[in-house]
A and B are shown apart, each in its own frame.
Chain A
Amino acid sequence: KNQVEQSPQSLIILEGKNCTLQCNYTVSPFSNLRWYKQDTGRGPVSLTIMTFSENTKSNGRYTATLDADTKQSSLHITASQLSDSASYICVVSAYGNNRLAFGKGNQVVVIP
């Protein structure tokens, strides 16, 4: 079973609307969680990193949350733009383990 599960697998949203992507993980002991954005045909790019003590972190119109107790993270996109069309990948790391756990991504399509 994958240690990182993301939902929804894909979604279509209208330009200007908000959306929230979910990431549930079982990785332990938790070290940090990153959200990466991957545009079609490109490599992933880091959006934000969340550590155990952080609940919320923003990067422009992207806001990530972390609940370390329930092992859940979300990525909220505000006022979506066409350029937000991409796959968003949740990556979780554990203390003492150099192998990262990758989710399969949330595929977001923003339509005008």
Chain B
Amino acid sequence: DAGVIQSPRHEVTEMGQEVTLRCKPISGHDYLFWYRQTMMRGLELLIYFNNNVPIDDSGMPEDRFSAKMPNASFSTLKIQPSEPRDSAVYFCASSLDRPNTGELFFGEGSRLTVL
């Protein structure tokens, strides 16, 4: 398997623009996670899905953030409108098992810069 695939790898945009990050999880993994990583705060869970259903979205910063998983092989994280403080690396991860037992398999990340 190719692993978790994320796109784009890098995104530079201006404040107020819409940003869409994409993720293809490992086939057969029932859990999909979106994380944000910054130097100050480290890795933070934004939202996770089980069998395409959002389970915990309490980490989503505000209404500007939304995530969808229309099928088992695709998920998106959207920021609208984007702000400079959203600049971070966004990781998608998938897992065979529930979060407190399963190994997380991370993608390469999407580095977002909002000017």
CB contacts under 8 Å to B, within A17-50, are: 31-32, 34, 36, 41-46, 49
Q: Which of A31, A43, A97, A99 makes the CB contact (< 8 A) with B109? A: A43
Q: Tell whether, in the assembled complex, residue A100 and residue B103 are in contact, meaning their CB atoms are under 8 Å apart.
A: no
Q: Tell whether, in the assembled complex, residue B100 and residue A98 are in contact, meaning their CB atoms are under 8 Å apart.
A: yes
Is A108 in contact with chain B by the CB < 8 A criterion? no
Listed stretches A54-62, A70-78, A87-95; interface member: A87-95
Is B70 in contact with chain A by the CB < 8 A criterion? no
Q: In the complex, how many angstroms separate the beta carbon of B111 from the nearest chain A beta carbon?
A: 8
A43 neighbours in B (Cβ, 8 Å) = 4, 91, 93, 106-109
A43 to B109, CA, bound (A): 6
B103 neighbours in A (Cβ, 8 Å) = 34, 46, 49
Is B104 in contact with chain A by the CB < 8 A criterion? yes
A44 to B56, CA, bound (A): 21
* Secondary structure type dominating chain A contacts: strand
Q: Tell whether, in the assembled complex, residue B42 and residue A102 are in contact, meaning their CB atoms are under 8 Å apart.
A: yes
Q: Tell whether, in the assembled complex, residue A104 and residue B42 are in contact, meaning their CB atoms are under 8 Å apart.
A: yes
Q: Which of A45, A100, A103 makes the CB contact (< 8 A) with B99? A: A100
A78 to B99, CA, bound (A): 30
A93 to B104, CA, bound (A): 12
A interface vs B, CB < 8 Å?
Answer: 31-32, 34, 36, 41-46, 49, 89, 93-100, 102-105
New A-B pairs, 14, CB < 8 Å, besides A98-B48, A98-B98 = A31-B100, A31-B101, A34-B103, A43-B4, A43-B91, A43-B106, A43-B109, A44-B106, A46-B103, A49-B103, A97-B100, A102-B42, A104-B42, A105-B42
5 closest A-B pairs (Cβ-Cβ)? A43-B106, A93-B100, A104-B42, A98-B99, A102-B43
